[in-house]
Amino acid sequence: MKVVILGCGRVGSTVGRMLDERGHAVTIIDRNEQQFKRLGERFRGETIRGVGIDEDVLRQAGLESADLFVAVTNGDNTNIMASQIAKEVFGVAHVITRIYDPVREQLYQGLGLDTYCPTTVQSQLIVDKIQERAAARPRP
C-alpha cells in the first residue's frame, strides 16, 4: 500500500516506521527537516520538507497515487484542510485525520472524514483506569 503521512512528530514518525517495517511504501511530510531524525536510520521511505496545506507539496509527495493519507500535525486546522484536499482534489480513498478539539472532530466526522480525537480517547482511558481502581478497592 502507498501511504502518505503529514507530520513527523511522535505519532507520525512511529506510524511511518511501523508501516515501513511492514513493507508499505511510506512518504512522510514535515515542514521541519529535523523531525525526520525521529524515523531512525533504518527507515527506507521518502521524506519531503514542506507545508501540508500546499497542493504542490502534496502532489510532490505522490498523493495522486496514494492509497492512504494520514494527517497528524499538531495543528487541527492544518490536518483538516490537508485531509480535505487529499479527499476532494486527489481522490485518495482513505484519509485519517487527527483532531484534538472534540467539537471540531464531531463536525468533520459528520462531513465524511475518518477522524479521531486523542482528547476524547485519552480522557476515556484515564477515567476507565480510575474507575477500575475504584471498583477493585473494597468498600469500607
Give the footprint of another protein on this chain (CB under 8 A).
Answer: 53-56, 75-78, 80-82, 84-85, 88-89, 101, 103-104, 107, 110-111
Q: Which is nearer to another protein, 111 or 121 (CB)?
A: 111
> Of 17, 121, 123, which is closest to residue 70 (Cα–Cα)?
17
Report how far residue 86's alpha carbon sits from residue 84's, in angstroms, rounded to the nearest whole number: 5
Q: Which is nearer to another protein, 12 or 26 (CB)?
A: 12
Q: Which C-beta is closer to another protein: that of 89 or that of 125? A: 89
* Least distance between another protein and beta carbon 127 (Å): 22
First and final C-alpha spacing in the chain: 56
Residue 14 CA, distance from chain mean position: 10
Q: Which is nearer to another protein, 20 or 76 (CB)?
A: 76
Q: Contact, 113 vs 94, CB < 8 A?
A: no
Report the nearest approach of another protein to the CB of residue 112 (Å): 12
